[in-house]
Chain A
Amino acid sequence: MLEVNSIYLYRNKKQIFSDFSLFLKKKQIILLIGENGAGKSSLLDTIAGLIQPQSGSVKIEGRHIEEIGISKKETFTYIPHQSCLMENFTVLENLKIWIELNSLKIREEIIDQKLKIFKLKNIKDQLVRNLSHGQKKKVSLSKLLFSNSKLWLLDEPLNGLDQNSHNIFKKILLRHQNNQGSILFSSHIDPKIRLTKKIILKKKINKKFVERSFNQWNKL
């Protein structure tokens, strides 16, 4: 599904990764865990094709990220740590614009149904600027519910979420995994999601990754 082959990445004259590789298989969830500044967002931005590594390659379903171009939106869904929401628009308008940009055709009743999952239906007509940080995060994450792509890249998806939303998010991840999907997500804390392979990104330790623990893949 996703291959990151021996990438070397420098940002602002600092080495972020040296000979870093990562392989994400079908139906696999990988959690990138690490302290602030460890390079989690840089890695996800590199995979999404926003940053060019100095060497190495990123392939999604066997295709180089540079070759994917406009079909990126069908290949993967990326939710960065920023909200990517327009403050002067309502929740519903923001989602409609996102759906339109993704060339998806989803009826309003379906959108309403999906908004119920994160309990956003009651605030769908509120302006984003009036929402709390956690609510904005839930709106961003609800984009996943409309996505058709098999690969999800999520940068700090748990930031600002309450315990209930945290549990809903875990269920969404596991459901995507059951639907042959793969997920790579980052967090600075361990959310303790079952069956997740963890990769610890460490700062200043020669920028090498350490694979810490593997949960069993037998119970899906």
Chain B
Amino acid sequence: MKNLLKLFSREMKILFFNTKNILSYSTFFVVVFLLFAFSIGPELKILSSLYIPVLFMIILFSLILTSETFITDDFNNGCLKELQFLGFSGEIIFLSKILVMLTSIILSNLFLIPLTSFFFGIEFSLMIDITILFILSSPSLVCLSLLSALFSLQIRKNKFIQFIIVMPFFIPIIIFATSTNLYSIDDKNNINYLILFGFFLITLPMSIILGKLLIKETNN
């Protein structure tokens, strides 16, 4: 636990000193959202009906884009190696990265979701539900995107393979996050919330085990 806190504080320092990660995430998010809004047109009814799928697709691609920097910077400057020979286990290294990436995307989305909801004409109560959906699904998405970043270190020549390997795991999370019927008033206690939490309970241990193996593999 002490080691995890040490690594977490290191990662947080990197995150706040190096604002490039949060900025690139937020910029990508806003730009793609605006592009979608312009391509759909000014009809607010259509815009609001497409809001949840558009939001989750953008979150997914932004995560894949930024997750690589959380891993590659440490890999390129040798810090990933250094952490290992200082005795930090692969699980702790990976878990600290999950926690920091989660903190960064939750913090930025708590600002970005209300902003984009306003442009898409989403009601306040619905925006709260969407935020809860995002908070429930983002831990699994973060775990998987960090795994895909580690895969990309292994497969340096063909990054396309990283998507083929990891993409199928994103699909169920995206399906259950976007198919939640938030528009129906009677169905507020949606079972999809529990399913998303269940996915997190599966993806967390799975990604920690795989993450540990992949981190070890980076030394070879």
Contacts and interface: CB of A to CB of B under 8 A. Distances in A.
Interface of A: 11-12, 45, 48-51, 68-73, 78, 80-89, 93, 97, 100-103
Given A50-B219, A70-B88, A72-B86, A101 B10 contact: yes
A101 B7 CA distance: 8
Interface of B, helix, strand, loop or mixed by DSSP: helix
Given A80-B78, A80-B82, A86-B14, A73 B87 contact: yes
A48 B68 CA distance: 26
Nearest to A82: B78
Given A11-B220, A51-B219, A102 B86 contact: yes
Nearest to B86: A73
Nearest to B19: A88
Interface of B: 3, 6-7, 9-10, 13-14, 17-18, 73, 77-79, 81-89, 219-220
Contacts of A12: 220
Contacts, number: 69
Most chain A CB inside 10 Å of its own CB: which residue of B18, B78, B85, B219: B85
15 contacts: A11-B220, A45-B219, A50-B219, A70-B3, A70-B89, A72-B87, A78-B85, A80-B78, A81-B78, A82-B81, A84-B77, A84-B78, A86-B77, A100-B9, A101-B10
Given A70-B3, A100-B10, A101-B6, A50 B81 contact: yes
A88 B79 CA distance: 13
A88 B14 CA distance: 8
A80 B3 contact: no
Q: What secondary structure prevails in chain A residues at the interface with B?
A: loop
A81 B82 CA distance: 11
A12 B87 CA distance: 25
Contacts of B79: 84-86
Nearest to B79: A84
A50 B10 CA distance: 21
B87 to A, nearest CB: 4
Nearest to A100: B6
Contacts of B17: 88-89, 93
Contacts of B219: 45, 50-51
A84 B81 contact: yes
B50 to A, nearest CB: 38
A60 B103 CA distance: 39
A70 B10 CA distance: 17
A48 B85 contact: yes
Given A50-B219, A70-B3, A89-B17, A82 B77 contact: yes
Contacts of A48: 85
A71 B87 contact: yes
Nearest to B219: A50
